[in-house]
Each structure stands twice: as C-alpha cells, then as structure tokens.
Amino acid sequence: MSREQELLIKWRSLSEEKQEKVLDFIEFLSLKNTANKTPLGERLQQIRTRIVASGKHLLDEDEIEKELASRRGGLQAREE
C-alpha cells in the first residue's frame, strides 16, 4: 500500500472536525516550507542551524521578551 493510499484510508476514518485539523496542519507545514525558501528565510535557517550546532542555548518566548525589554530600557510589552 502506498503512503497516499494509507493516508486516504486514515483520512476517511476521521470525523469532519479532525479532517479540518489535519488540513490546518498541512497548511501550516506548507507555509513553513515556503517561508524557508525566501532568501531571508534561508539565511535565518542557516543562522539557527549554526547556533544549535554550537551548543548555544536558544531563547524561549519569555527570554526573548526579557531581552527585548532590557534593550528597550526596561519597558514591558502590554498585555491585551
């Protein structure tokens, strides 16, 4: 059985709601793939790959917010 056939069999067994979630995920993957094909996206991916390979810690969302706040003189982004 091909991957396509396997996917179709599994797809048909899902509820309509779950099929929508699968489509959303596929769209996400498609956009992610497209974003990395721009020159800037490719360059950013190369930089990230070098950072990860060096063993340096990547910042999480909270650490990024703290870094931005410190560079902006301690101002915090407002919650909406």
Identify whether 30 is part of a domain.
Answer: yes
Identify whether 78 is part of a domain.
Answer: no
User: pLDDT tens across 33-71, in order?
Assistant: 766 677 887 888 889 889 888 988 888 889 988 988 888
Backbone angles phi, psi at 53, to 5 degrees: -65, -30
Cα–Cα distances in angstroms (integers) from residue 77 to residues 18, 34, 43, 61, 70, in the given order: 35, 30, 28, 13, 11
Chain center to CA of 59:
15
Identify whether 61 is part of a domain.
Answer: yes
What is the residue range of 56's domain? 15-71
Identify whether 33 is part of a domain.
Answer: yes
Identify whether 29 is part of a domain.
Answer: yes
Residue type, 43: R
The total domain count for the chain is 1
Identify whether 37 is part of a domain.
Answer: yes
Residue 67 CB partners (closer than 8 Å, separation 6+): 59
User: pLDDT tens across 1-18, in order?
Assistant: 899 999 999 999 999 999
Q: State residue 42's pLDDT score.
A: 80
Q: State residue 78's pLDDT score.
A: 57
Identify whether 59 is part of a domain.
Answer: yes
- The answer, yes or no, to whether residue 32 has pLDDT greater than 60, is yes
